[in-house]
Structures are given as C-alpha cells and as structure tokens.
Structure 1
Amino acid sequence: MNPLSANTVSVILSSAGLKAVRRNHPWLYSKGIEKINRQGNSGDIAVLYDNKRKFAGIGLLDIHSPIMVRVLHSGKPITLSKEWLSEKISESIVRRASLINDSSTTGYRLVNGENDQLAGIVADIYENTLVIKLDSTCWLPHLDKLTNIFISLVHPERIVLRMSRSVKEFSEIADGTVIFGTKINQPITFTENNIQFYTDPAEGQKTGFFLDQRNNRLIAGKLSKGLNVLNVFAYTGGFSLYAAAGGAKSVASLDISKPALEACGDNFRLNGFRTPHRLICGDAFEEMEKLRKNGEKFGMVIVDPPSFARKQSDVNGAFKAYEKVNRIAVNLIEKGGILAAASCSARVSAEEFFNIVLKVCRASGRKFSELERTGHAIDHTAGFDEGSYLKCIFVRFD
C-alpha cells in the first residue's frame, strides 16, 4: 500500500497533545505540539510521536488552520493509504445501512467528518447527487483520490464539491463545482420519509439542506394533526412540510430570507399539499412579537434557529437569545399547544439548553409537561464533545 502522500512531517507531541491523541480527539492544535521537524504543506502526512519517539497517531497537516493536524488514527502504527481511506469511508457508509435501505428516504449523510474518524470530510447524498464538503485544506491535495473512492463505493450520477470558507481561498476549484458526472441542468429533488424536497447542492446552505433535523421533523409532523403550526427560522420549510404531511390545520413559515421562503413555497407545490400556508418574511424576533401583539395563537410553535454561539465569546449572548426567542414562542402557544425548541450550537450543551427552555416554561406560569428530548440522528452521530451540537425538546402546555 502506498501512502496518500510521499511528503511527511514528524511531530513530537506535548503532554497535552499526547493526552488528546490517546483519547482519540481528532484535532491537534499548536499547543499540543512540542516539536515538528520541518515546515510542511497542507496535505502532508503528519506522524505523531510521544517524547520518547514512540508512535502515537497519524493524520494530515493543515498549515492554514489553528487545527494544525487532523488526526485520523491513534494507537498502533498504520500506513495512511488510499486503501485505508477507502476502508474507513466504506465503514462509515455501512453504519448508515438502515437509511440506505429505506426507500422512503433518499437524502442523508454518508460521512460525518470527525465523528466518523474522517476529520475534515463531510459527504451527503441527495438521490443520485453526492456532495463532498471539505472543512480543511489538508484534503485538497487528495481530492482526486477521495473522488475516485466515492465513485467506486457510491456510484453517484454526479459529485459536487463544497468547501468551508477557510478552504475556498486555497482551492483552484470553485465552490459548488461538479467535479464528476453530469452537470446540474434541472432542479434536484430527494425524499425524506416520503416527503419531497428541492435542494441546491451547489449554492444552498451546508450541502444544500439541513439533513440533521430529519428525526425531529418526523416527531413534529406526528404531533401536528389538526393544529395551526408556526415554524420559526423556517428556511426552505423542512418542519413546515412535515406539519402539512401530518395533517396540520394550517402552517405559517417565518424566515428572514425571501429566497428561502420562495423555495419553501416551491416545496409545498412539489408535494401537492393543500394545507393553508402563510409565508412571513422578516426578523424572527420582530415578527413573532407582531404575531403576539395581534393576539395570534398556535397549536405548535417550532423554534429552530441558526447557531447563536459561533465562538466562545458568543455563549452568554446565546443563552439570552435562546431565552428570549422561546419566551416569545411560549406566549404564542394556545392551551394544549406544543413548543418544539431546538439548538445547533455546539458551545451550548444539551443540559444548558434544556435548562433554559424549561426555565422559560416555568416562568410562563403555565402548567406544562415535557414530551421528549432528542439528540443526533444515526447519520449525524457525535463522536467527540465538540461534535455534539444538536438537541431538541418538545413541551406541551395545559
């Protein structure tokens, strides 16, 4: 087996770095490095040693990120080869067998980066379109190998390349480029629990859709029968469509993005839903306050905001934002109604988030009962602390 790269760097780990590698943490920062034998380039193989020159792990160097090494393996020595990489990706795909074999769902995540021991790579499938998203420049030199592996294992009609902001500037290929197969010349659709969605893998957020909320959408849909449902931060209407499919009396989708709401309307038409559907374009906090002042009430309010804490200094502000948005939401819920509150902020723990939501519920002075708490779906499992971000709670008010 030939190594992924002929270029290697030798890294002597600090005591902190060694501890991190031994507990299988996928990120190695500069403070975890005692010494490195040469400068190196992104994509070089980084062989990690303890201070006695004993092998500790192996990964890929990223000279453009605070995370200097994406650790791919720790323990006994291995050769970081195309064959090894193919086997790891294959194992990741096999773990999704229940989704792959479910004909009602054709959109899901095949590789979840660090959580599948493949730091810096995400791969999502939408019907026959595979999207590879790179979150580290360490994979740019190995893109051809990655592409060939996915072609061999998945047999997609096309592959679209997406990159995080920190990677785009170092790539010779533009973000959203079809790097294999036929060009995108018509809207791409996929199904999720027999509900159809349009997706834009070349320019949409993430890889084109928020696949991680599939299970929570299903729960919300089952609770929506006969209710007037408000979906806040609706984007292209994931929760809204599940509510309509679940028999909601009416659905209101609120988002600040007009194009996202237009796509939401397109998704309703794609499914042929006749559920009364109102689009509300504007700031979520302001529009919810308007609804409250107008005396509107809903049988279910779904609050699924973007991350309020993108960096550590945002955390206190995030606590306040979660409290505020859910407080307004509770004021919009009718007797017997349901709050579905979600968070995708990794820096806000599940315990912290649930405590905030329950604090708001208690402060309302209303009797309530907790229905369910959820975390990550099978294709978005969290393999390390920083990879755990998604949580949702369902609460019914008497």
Structure 2
Amino acid sequence: MGNGILTLKKGEGRSLKAGGPWIYDNEVASIVGTFEDGDIVEVHDFDGYPLGRGFINRKSKLIVRMMTRNKDAQVDEAFIRMRVKNAWEYRKKVVDTGSCRVIFGEADFLPGIVVDKFSDVLVVQSLALGIDRFKGLIIEELKALMAEDGIRIRGVYERSDAKVREQEGMERTKGFIGDPFDTKVEIEENGVHYMVDVKEGQKTGFFLDQKYNRKAIWKLCSGARVLDCFTHTGSFALNAGLAGAAHVTGVDASELGVAQARENAALNHLEDRVDFVCADVFELLPELERKGEKFDVVILDPPAFTKSRNSIKNAVKGYREINLRAMKLIKDGGYLATCSCSHFMDYELFTQTIGQAARNVHKRLRQVEYRTQAPDHPILWAAEDSYYLKFYIFQVCDEK
C-alpha cells in the first residue's frame, strides 16, 4: 500500500479543508517515502498537521483523491467493504432500487468509481487509478449484499471508456467482467419500460438521474400536446405518453437514440401517441416556429453544453437559444421543463440565462418547481462536481 507523505504548500488546501475530496498538483510542497502511483499516502498540512489519507497519482493534475480524514484509518479490504455497504444501505432508504446508481464516486466516499444497477445487471465505470485496484472487490461486495436482499445479479459490464481515464495515465476499456450475457436489459421506471443497451448506450447506458424529474411532468401532460427535445432514448417523451398526453413528439440528433426510442414506445404500446424525429434541435425549433406550431408542454433535456470553465460563454449562448426558442413554441399558459446537466453551468448562471431568454421573447415565467438529480446521485456539500443537475418547471405566460 505504500508509505508516503504528501505535504501541502502553506496557504493551499483550502478546498480540502472545507470538506472537498481532492488535492491538485500545484498545491503540493513535497512528497516523500516509498510508494507507487495508486497507493495510499498520508496528507499533511504545511506544518505537519495530518489531514487524512488518499490515493496518489502523480500522472494526474488531480494528484490525491481523499479516502478518509482519519490519519490512522487503514484503507484495506474491510474499509472498502464498509464504504460499499454504506452506499447500498443508503440507496435502500432513498430510492426505488429496481434500477439506480449504487455508487456515485466522491459523493459515496469512493472517489473515481460509478456503479449503476439496471434491473439484474451492474455497469461499472472506473476512472481513477487508486480505486481501479479495488474494482473487483467492490463488485464482489455489491453482489453479495444484493444477494442477501434476494437480488441475483446475472452480469457485470465495464464502461471505463471515458476520455478522463487517459488523464490518469490509464487506457480506456470496456467489456464483460465475468461471464458474457445479453447486454440489452429491460428496466422499469415510473411504470415505463425501457430497453437499455449497456454496451453501446451513452455513458453507462441510461440516465438514471432524471428518474423523479420525469415523474414530475406527469401532471402537466394529461391531454397535452408535448414536444420533448434531446429525447435520447425517449425517456421524458414516454413518461408524457403514459401520463395521458394527446400527442408527443420526441427529437434527437442520434439515429441510434431515435431507433431505441421507437423500440421503447412499442414496448409501452405508445406508438399511436408518441413519435420520434431525428433532427438537430437548434435547426428544428425555428422551423416549427415558422410553421406556427404551438405546444402545451415543451421539455428541454440537452447534453452538457460545457465540460470546462473555458467554454461557459458558448454554453450560455446555447442554453439561452434553446430556451428562448422553446418559449416561443409554448401556448400562453403552457409549461416548460428545462434543465442543465453541466456542473460548470451552476444554479445562478442557469437561472440567469433562462431569465434572459424570457425577457428577450417577452414571456413571463411562473416557477412551478425547482429540482435536482435523484437522491441515488447524492450531492456532497463541498464536492462541487456532485451537484450538476438543475431542473426547472415553469408556466410560460405572454406579457399582457
């Protein structure tokens, strides 16, 4: 496990001392001892005061991911099993565990690893060197804990194919962990059935974080004409259909996404009321406006328009544009559900951007509710990255 000590520069480590989970390479004064990248090291303040222990990786700008604030804690198998057990016990209390995120990295004090459960399949995404060594143990412990609750996991698939692995000096990888199995998995959420492709779908195959936000639109959609933009595999559109919408149009730029969405509509016997179009939302919305189309409900669930601080300006433009266009398509007194999944587009900036869009098109917004991600994606205060999803529902009224 190594025997190293990392000491911070004087005045550094402010985020860490406020409860943050990371140390950056430019905060470090010295590293001594014998260890390899991926080992646990002790972290000391500039004056030698112990701050805890974490995984080190000198290849990464994010040089230490903290595992514990207890300087005497041994980060061994028993410690990892305890963290995994805590994560599973928490899910059983706060969400429907039929399909859910079981481990959410730093927010579960297991930095760099995500595990999603889709019915009887687990999908793991390991993005940090230190935790990667414990990947097998984490999966084994989860399977054992679920078996105690009568849940048999039939297969595990790895989706560690994200680019950030390269920043850790690791190769991207994907494939079966253990025996091969059918990677198309049927799940049920809010009474809606989906086929999830854990091998080829985006990220781990399906976005579980919007589970209860999708349920929140039900009451607005009964008898309504609905437009669902960036529908991916049809999740909001199908919730609207099942909630009794008169007609739903889902739009996505991905042919694969649209094909899966149509398959999901058939699975729920909604083909007569829910249809899908493969198109660029930025091009389609002005076209619908020119045709004089109007909707009772418009849903905007775009991908993250920014994944770094450098591109925030362009992201703001993108969010303003789609919200502005959507508001113009909503009947007076209709509803807008709009969200951002980029943590760089924080609550204040997102709120301000929607307000600008409304002023630009002379609409008045009445806030129905504000929501974030489902509680199986817990927000750890002091870990900024863990709070990323902002979700608003507004009534959109013409200025009179």
- What TM-score do the two structures reach when normalised by structure 2? 0.91
Tell me the equivalent position of 2:316.
Answer: 319
Tell me the equivalent position of 2:120.
Answer: 128
Contact 2:262 2:275 in 1 (8 A): no
Encode CA deviations 1:175-200: one digit per residue, 9 max, x unaligned: 331213x4222621111122111111
Deviation at 1:65, TM superposition (A): 2.1
User: Given residue 181 of structure 2, which amino acid in structure 1 is its aligned partner?
Assistant: I
The equivalent position to 1:357 in structure 2, one of 354, 357, 366, is 354
Q: Is 1:225 equivalent to 2:225 in the alignment? A: no
Name the CA distance, whole Å, in 2 between partners of 1:16 and 1:318: 33
Q: Is 1:257 equivalent to 2:249 in the alignment? A: no
Deviation at 1:233, TM superposition (A): 0.7
| Overall identity of the aligned pairs, in % | 28
Q: Is 1:338 equivalent to 2:330 in the alignment? A: no
Tell me the equivalent position of 1:3.
Answer: none
In structure 2, relative to structure 1, the CA distance for the partners of 1:81 and 1:16 (3 Å cut) is farther
Encode CA deviations 1:295-320: one digit per residue, 9 max, x unaligned: 11111111111111111111111111
Tell me the equivalent position of 1:178.
Answer: 176
The equivalent position to 2:165 in structure 1, one of 164, 167, 170, is 167
Encode CA deviations 1:136-172: one digit per residue, 9 max, x unaligned: 1222333332232223223422221121223279667
Name the CA distance, whole Å, in 2 between partners of 1:16 and 1:213: 39
Deviates more, 1:136-145 or 1:297-306: 136-145
Q: Is 1:198 equivalent to 2:190 in the alignment? A: no
User: Given residue 294 of structure 2, which amino acid in structure 1 is its aligned partner?
Assistant: K
User: Given residue 115 of structure 2, which amino acid in structure 1 is its aligned partner?
Assistant: A
Deviation at 1:99, TM superposition (A): 5.0
Name the CA distance, whole Å, in 2 between partners of 1:177 and 1:42: 25
The equivalent position to 1:268 in structure 2, one of 262, 265, 268, is 265
Deviates more, 1:361-370 or 1:89-98: 361-370
Deviation at 1:86, TM superposition (A): 0.9
Name the CA distance, whole Å, in 2 between partners of 1:186 and 1:351: 40
Tell me the equivalent position of 2:36.
Answer: 41
Deviates more, 1:237-246 or 1:216-225: 216-225
In structure 2, relative to structure 1, the CA distance for the partners of 1:135 and 1:16 (3 Å cut) is farther
Deviates more, 1:129-138 or 1:34-43: 34-43
Tell me the equivalent position of 2:396.
Answer: 397
Q: Is 1:67 equivalent to 2:59 in the alignment? A: no
Q: Is 1:382 equivalent to 2:379 in the alignment? A: yes
Name the CA distance, whole Å, in 1 between partners of 2:129 and 2:237: 36
Any unmatched runs of 5+ in structure 2?
Answer: 148-152
Name the CA distance, whole Å, in 2 between partners of 1:53 and 1:352: 39
The Cα RMSD (Å) is 2.0
User: Given residue 131 of structure 1, which amino acid in structure 2 is its aligned partner?
Assistant: V
Secondary structure at 1:96 match in 2: helix
Q: Is 1:154 equivalent to 2:146 in the alignment? A: yes
Name the CA distance, whole Å, in 1 between partners of 2:207 and 2:182: 22
In structure 2, relative to structure 1, the CA distance for the partners of 1:366 and 1:12 (3 Å cut) is closer
Deviation at 1:87, TM superposition (A): 0.7
Deviation at 1:40, TM superposition (A): 4.5
Tell me the equivalent position of 1:106.
Answer: 98
Deviation at 1:247, TM superposition (A): 0.5
Name the CA distance, whole Å, in 2 between partners of 1:26 and 1:60: 11
Secondary structure at 2:217 match in 1: helix
Which runs of structure 2 are paired with 1:72-91 in the superposition (5 Å)? 72-91=67-86
Deviation at 1:76, TM superposition (A): 4.3
Contact 1:131 1:159 in 2 (8 A): yes
The equivalent position to 2:301 in structure 1, one of 294, 297, 304, is 304
Contact 1:300 1:337 in 2 (8 A): yes
Deviation at 1:262, TM superposition (A): 0.4
Deviation at 1:215, TM superposition (A): 1.4
In structure 2, relative to structure 1, the CA distance for the partners of 1:223 and 1:275 (3 Å cut) is farther
- What TM-score do the two structures reach when normalised by structure 1? 0.92
Contact 1:225 1:249 in 2 (8 A): yes
In structure 2, relative to structure 1, the CA distance for the partners of 1:378 and 1:236 (3 Å cut) is same
Secondary structure at 1:198 match in 2: strand
Deviation at 1:38, TM superposition (A): 5.5
Contact 2:327 2:363 in 1 (8 A): no
Name the CA distance, whole Å, in 2 between partners of 1:282 and 1:16: 51
Name the CA distance, whole Å, in 2 between partners of 1:41 and 1:221: 52
Contact 2:188 2:194 in 1 (8 A): yes
User: Given residue 20 of structure 1, which amino acid in structure 2 is its aligned partner?
Assistant: S
Name the CA distance, whole Å, in 2 between partners of 1:16 and 1:225: 57
Secondary structure at 1:372 match in 2: strand
Secondary structure at 2:133 match in 1: helix
